[in-house]
Amino acid sequence: HSKTMCSRFIGSLVGAIVGDCIGADFECRPFVDTLHLSNFLTSMAGKTGRGNKVSYTDDTAMTRSVADSLISKKAFNASDMAMRFAEEYFQNPGRGYGANVVQVFQDLHVDRYADVYQSAREQFGGTGSYGNGGGMRIAPVALFAMNDTEKLIQIARDSTLITHTNKKGYNGAILQCLAVQQALTHQHAPSVRLSREKFVEDLQEKMKKIEGKLDDANKATKASEEEAKVKDVKTQGDPSSKDFFYVEYLQKVKTLISYGDVPRIKIKHVLGVGIAAHRSIPTAIYCFLRCMEPVEDLRNIDHGNALARTVLYAISLGGDTDTIASMAGSIAGAYYGIESVPSMWQDRCEGVECATSQAKELYHLATGDTCTC
Ligand code: F2R
Ligand code: MG
Ligand code: MG
Ligand code: MG
């Protein structure tokens, strides 16, 4: 009756891939209608023979590096992970990377990985990137540290800081990581459904502790408490100065979920569909929770499958479709398991086999057991 944990490990990494691969074609479109989505799925199904795969983008390329690094080092190792990010980029620069993150790869390479946190600190005039590039690659960290939330938070933060040192960037990645962990470890029982309200409240509880702490993760901008106060006054009006930034975003998620069926335009306005971590990670969490219930105009293409619905709904919002669908897909996959990923999607998306074997290795590292599914 209950999905095996192994199935949920694989589901999370494969859910991330199908979101990225299917979403990539729609990235940056302001609107995506159901017919367009339906036509895309039909053409995907019709592809046969060699070269029938839909390609993944930077989201998956970086997720693979995170997983490979954790698996090979059996721990988080910043220079190993940084080297994998950069080397993957130089081998395959055309995967659609963020405009600024490529500077970090260049610097890492030129500086021969001397201080792997240096370049990211210099991004955006020293404010650091708040792009969603930390969150989009974080799923393997949730699997690796499934049983140890403190460790999970630390690795999520430290692995994100290699490229994203803005508080909104790394706290967003931590939030996404915690969402995958919660979905993964939620006990399925036939009669007890996940309480969506509690799912969000649990995340708020954890983010409250994280956001309440004096910002000490970014050593380049580490300031005394007095300096921090001055800085707070100076940055009034800048959302980054708010103490409980993601806690507040999660409150919006909770409210929108309680409204049931909400027009897409409202979701886009309140939560966002952008490339910034704070305008996409709460959205991905919303997509997972919203799609536990049917979505009227997706009935004909989701075939009653809540994971497929999650991915398609995320794409239907437009904007940063590959990334939001990938993050929502990894939460949904952790909850529903690999059996819920449509077999046509598994067959036609690039990188599914690799993600499956990585998930099995991470399962072994996290539980000591061998994955037999
Ligand atoms: N890059 C894209 N999509 C754009 C076009 C792709 C298109 N399909 C094509 O054909 O070319 N997608 C990928 O980028 C996102 C992840 O980005 P990441 O890794 O966070 O990169 P970066 O460069 O650090 O940040 C992204 C942009 O965010 C803005 N930004 C971030 N921090 C900022 C700050 N402190 N101040 C001002 N702006 C900031 C900048 O515009 C950055 O370039 C994913 O969507 C992935 O799919
Ligand atoms: Mg991408
Ligand atoms: Mg430099
Ligand atoms: Mg994207």
The pLDDT of residue 215 is: 60
Q: Do residues 79 and 116 touch, judged by C-beta distance below 8 A?
A: yes
132 CB less than 6 Å from ligand 1? yes
Whether ligand 1 lies within 6 angstroms of the CB of 346 is answered as no
Q: Which residues pair with 349 in a beta bridge?
A: 54
Buried residues in 349-373 as b, exposed as e (16+ CB within 10 A): bbbbebbbebbbbbbebbeeeebeb
Q: Calculate how far, in angstroms, residue 109's C-alpha sits from the geometric centre of ligand 3.
A: 10
Average pLDDT per block of 10 residues along the chain, 373 residues long = 83 98 97 96 91 96 98 98 98 98 98 96 98 98 98 98 98 98 88 89 98 64 47 45 87 98 98 98 98 97 97 98 98 97 97 98 96 84
Beta partners for residue 276, in sequence order = 131
Q: 277 C-alpha vs ligand 1 centroid, how far in Å?
A: 10
Model ipTM? Answer: 0.95
**What is the rounded CA–CA span in Å between residue 1 and residue 190?**
7
**Would you say the CB of residue 130 lies under 6 angstroms from ligand 1?**
yes
Please tell me the distance between residue 269's alpha carbon and the centre of ligand 1 in angstroms: 19
Give pLDDT, residue 372. 84
Residue 242 confidence (pLDDT) = 56
- 131 C-alpha to ligand 1 centroid (Å): 6
Residues found in the chain: 373
Give the pTM: 0.94
Residue 243's pLDDT is what?
81
Bridge partners for 131 per DSSP: 276
135 in Cβ contact with 327 (< 8 Å): yes
Protein residue with its CA nearest to atom 36 in ligand 1:
124
* CA distance to 34, 85, 163, per residue, from 69 (Å): 38, 10, 16
Query: What Rg, from alpha-carbon coordinates, does the chain have?
Result: 19
Neighbours of ion ligand 4 (CB under 5 A): 320, 322-323
Distance CA 207, CA 182 (A): 13
Does residue 68 have its Cβ closer than 6 Å to ligand 1? no
